[in-house]
Homo-oligomer: A and B are copies of this chain.
Amino acid sequence: MQRTPPQTTSPASRILGVDPGLNITGYAVIEPREKRLHVCEAGVVRSTQRRSLAYRVREIHDGLAEVIASLKPAAMALEELYSHYDRPRTSILMGHARGVICLAAAEADIEVTSYNATQVKLILTGNGRAPKSQMQQAIRRELALVKMPEPADIADALAIALCHHYLAAKAKAVAAHRMP
């Protein structure tokens, strides 16, 4: 888990990326500072495997709510789940986790945008089927990271946050271009 003290500059452009999972949910908060992208905080929320499903979704909800309350992101970007049709039981359990993560965003009045894995890869590398090594390289370069954070759920959360940042910046540029 990486931890740098949260800074109070420009929370309006702070993005929380989330890679939802019932066992481990990766999260990453990034923001632009002095023309570069910085990681405010990145880590994981783990649920206790031997406890009930209800207890575990509460752990996930409360963990994410804490991140939101402390870092006050302006938007949440979340991995789309519909691609995991081949493992239905896992997908449904991830749906439980994703439900309480969406709830935490709604409770803080933060808009949620979903991206599928192909979109994220395409935006970060120009290749919708980019291998893991190419994705890691892109994440390290964009965020000037000396090494990749562990576990992989954090890297996935960073990638989703970056994807949202670039698409939101693009949408803003298009809107400005259209203004009379």
B-chain residues with CB within 8 Å of residue A13 when the two chains form the complex:
none
B-chain residues with CB within 8 Å of residue A97 when the two chains form the complex:
99
Q: Shortest CB–CB separation between residue A161 and chain B, in angstroms?
A: 17
Q: Shortest CB–CB separation between residue A26 and chain B, in angstroms?
A: 18
Which of A88-96, A141-149, A150-158 lines the interface with chain B?
A88-96
Q: Does A103 contact B (CB under 8 A)?
A: yes
B-chain residues with CB within 8 Å of residue A96 when the two chains form the complex:
95-96, 98-99, 102
B106 and A57 within 8 A (CB): yes
Q: Shortest CB–CB separation between residue A60 and chain B, in angstroms?
A: 9
B106 and A54 within 8 A (CB): yes
Q: Does A58 contact B (CB under 8 A)?
A: yes
Q: How many copies does the complex hold?
A: 2
B-chain residues with CB within 8 Å of residue A102 when the two chains form the complex:
53-54, 57-58, 96
Docked complex: A26-57 residues within 8 A CB-CB of B: 52-55, 57
C-alpha spacing A92/B111, complex, angstroms: 20
Q: Does A24 contact B (CB under 8 A)?
A: no
A59-93 near B? 1/0 per residue, CB < 8 Å: 00100000000000000000001100100110111
Q: Shortest CB–CB separation between residue A1 and chain B, in angstroms?
A: 24
B-chain residues with CB within 8 Å of residue A88 when the two chains form the complex:
82, 85, 88, 91
Q: Shortest CB–CB separation between residue A128 and chain B, in angstroms?
A: 21
Q: Shortest CB–CB separation between residue A104 and chain B, in angstroms?
A: 9
Docked complex: A116-143 residues within 8 A CB-CB of B: none
C-alpha spacing A52/B99, complex, angstroms: 12
